[in-house]
Structure 1
Amino acid sequence: MNDPVPATGRQFEIGHGSARAVVTEVGAALRVFEVGGVPYSETYGADEQPPSAAGAVLVPWPNRVADGRWTLEGEPQQLSLTEPARHNAIHGLLRHAPWRLVEHAESTVVLHAMVPSQPGWPVPLLTSIGYTLDDSGLTVTHTVENLGSRATPFGVGVHPYPRAGNAATDDCVLRLAAANVLPVDPERLLPARPPRALEGDEIEFRSGRRLAGVLLDTAFGGAAPAPDDPEQLVRHRLTDPSGHGVELWADPVFKWVQVYTADEFPGRGRAVAIEPMTCPPGALNSGTDLLVLRPGETWIASWGLCPF
């Protein structure tokens, strides 16, 4: 008799030296990333549903769409309300879908998934995600291809929970490469006003702010590489009291980062999600930083986790 399949489907493990990662079949989520046995992302059991969207791949839009409604070339679209308590559609269409394995080598795994034409999303897309370990850490590469006959806007995000080794989250310092913040209404977490410059305690995130007492479910924008960065990458950092930690780097197209502090992450308590996004909440309606794919076009971009 075959063993039962875990809640997250098959588990695809990769390794390089002392580094190890595990990716799930359902949702193509990063479930484990560690180096030398030290965790650099929060984890959960293969038989558990990913807590607080841990590791979720957010395609073809990240974050929320108010009432699930948007318009494509003047045609009203109605998405399923996957956050019914707030009457929103949230985090795209592939969080709970099984992804198809197309490559699994020692240090690399690649999975594909289809976004078929459906109510609320009329343009079919083929998307892939590749996870690769090397000496620098973990690199994650996304591709999206338009299989339809018309252009479509879209966005991409991901929902990792980086971890600065074994340090308590509240003892860590978070530094963001962001210049502004998107105010949202507290009830539905939808954009309430245009982005504004960082102010007050928010400014500390530019140089580093300790997370003790900080509560966030906030989209920060204007994320950009430092002018003197030789690789021209966006870099966010989570640092423990000893000065070590993990860097989340991203291609410049990831102009936004959602930061969410979870108080009850299983087995951990306080945890922090640092979510690179190509566009902010509500972008399918505001148009802010939306990407557009014409028929037959393919988009590609990467981000990664680098312990230091």
Structure 2
Amino acid sequence: MRTPAALSAGPWQAGLLPELGGTIAYLTRDGRDVLRRAPDGVDDPLETGCFPLVPYANRIAHGRFFFAGETFRLPLNFGDHPHSLHGIGWQSRWTLRMEGSADAVMDLRHAGGGGWPWPFRAEQRLALDDDGLTISLALANEGDRAMPAGLGLHPYFPRDASTRLTMAAERMWEGDETMIPTRTVAAGTFGDWRAGAGFPDRLIDNSFDGWTGQAVIDGAGGVTRIGAIGARAVHLYAPPGEPFLCVEPVSHLPDALNQGFAIDTLEPGETLTLTMRITD
């Protein structure tokens, strides 16, 4: 059974599972679950509290894209899903490079191939304080040629029938049956998020751009505030009937490499960063 590396500061506690995709097993404040708690003995990153999206976020359609004059093919890494999803960091073993009482650093080094042709180094710095958790995610190009680069975080927040979300964005992207973006619609299509809204009895699996980088979740368990730096968009994932909500800060929209959406390019030695702050 995996035992999470434990961090603590004031009323906050967190548990980390670096070998299971660099995931967070739990985050609590005064014993209340702020992130979904992973079950004992968890062996699937999709059952944890949060995992990193690196070196790209969300979907790449059919695992194919064109970059710098070449066509690249990636393995389809999500069961029978037709696209490559979430990068490779969540399916890799990270190393716990530094662990203090309230902070830690998890590293991942990728030599190239095996899901992503460019070598890179990824780092997660996690720090608890009396007010919450800060996660700083970095991606560095360790190769000798430019590479496309994306980052994101995939936190699962507890949700019940009373939960409401408040955030501001300019537009929402509708997707096809496999959730590849097809067109923009009003950001409030599923609810007036600016004023705070609950969740309809239908799947929400959509990206919003023009996001301010701030969101508030208000439910029976209390209020959770989310702030992000380096996120061009936010992806909401709220399946009907499930006791969780994902508010995912991401540096690019789904399938950006095929659709011409903004995405970063890292020259050799360059680094991309994204930070998420969770407070109450």
Q: Same fold (TM over 0.5)?
A: yes
User: 2:24 — aligned with what?
Assistant: 30
1:146 aligns with 2:123: no
User: 2:156 — aligned with what?
Assistant: 161
Please give the alpha-carbon distance, in whole angstroms, between the structure 1 residues aligned to 2:91 and 2:114.
17
| Equivalent AA in structure 2 for residue 275 of structure 1 | E
Check the 8 A contact 1:171/1:212 in 2, yes or no. Answer: no
Check the 8 A contact 1:52/1:262 in 2, yes or no. Answer: no
**Offset at residue 241 of structure 1 (A):** 5.8
Structure 1 vs Structure 2 CA RMSD: 2.0
Q: Deviations over 1:57-106 (max 9, x none)?
A: 11011111111001221111110011342311000011121101111000
Check the 8 A contact 2:49/2:157 in 1, yes or no. Answer: no
Please give the alpha-carbon distance, in whole angstroms, between the structure 2 residues aligned to 1:148 and 1:276.
26
**Offset at residue 293 of structure 1 (A):** 1.0
User: 1:301 — aligned with what?
Assistant: 274
**Offset at residue 29 of structure 1 (A):** 1.0
1:179 aligns with 2:170: yes
Q: What is the DSSP-based 3-state SS (H/G/I as helix, E as strand, rest coil) of the residue aligned with 2:161?
A: helix
Please give the alpha-carbon distance, in whole angstroms, between the structure 2 residues aligned to 1:155 and 1:262.
25
| Runs of 5+ unmatched residues, structure 1 | 225-233
**Offset at residue 306 of structure 1 (A):** 0.6
User: 1:190 — aligned with what?
Assistant: 180
User: 1:290 — aligned with what?
Assistant: 263
User: 1:82 — aligned with what?
Assistant: 77
| Equivalent AA in structure 1 for residue 180 of structure 2 | L
Question: Out of 4, 13, 30, which is 2:6 matched to?
Answer: 13
Please give the alpha-carbon distance, in whole angstroms, between the structure 1 residues aligned to 2:79 and 2:36.
27
Question: Out of 184, 193, 196, which is 1:205 matched to?
Answer: 193
Please give the alpha-carbon distance, in whole angstroms, between the structure 1 residues aligned to 2:115 and 2:4.
31
Please give the alpha-carbon distance, in whole angstroms, between the structure 1 residues aligned to 2:11 and 2:261.
41
Q: What is the DSSP-based 3-state SS (H/G/I as helix, E as strand, rest coil) of the residue aligned with 1:288?
A: coil
Please give the alpha-carbon distance, in whole angstroms, between the structure 1 residues aligned to 2:196 and 2:156.
18
Identity of aligned residues (%): 25
Q: Deviations over 1:225-258 (max 9, x none)?
A: xxxxxxxxx211101269x41011101x212111
**Offset at residue 215 of structure 1 (A):** 3.0
User: 1:136 — aligned with what?
Assistant: 131
Question: Out of 272, 275, 286, which is 2:245 matched to?
Answer: 272
Aligned in 2, Cα 1:52/1:22: closer, same or farther, shift over 3 Å?
A: closer
Aligned pairs for 1:211-290 within 5 A? 211=199, 213=201, 215-224=203-212, 234-240=213-219, 244-251=222-229, 253-263=230-240, 269-290=242-263
| Equivalent AA in structure 2 for residue 217 of structure 1 | D
Check the 8 A contact 1:77/1:121 in 2, yes or no. Answer: no
| Equivalent AA in structure 2 for residue 183 of structure 1 | E
**Offset at residue 287 of structure 1 (A):** 3.4
| Runs of 5+ unmatched residues, structure 2 | none
Aligned in 2, Cα 1:77/1:128: closer, same or farther, shift over 3 Å?
A: same
More strand by share: 2
TM-score by length of 2: 0.92
Check the 8 A contact 1:171/1:211 in 2, yes or no. Answer: no
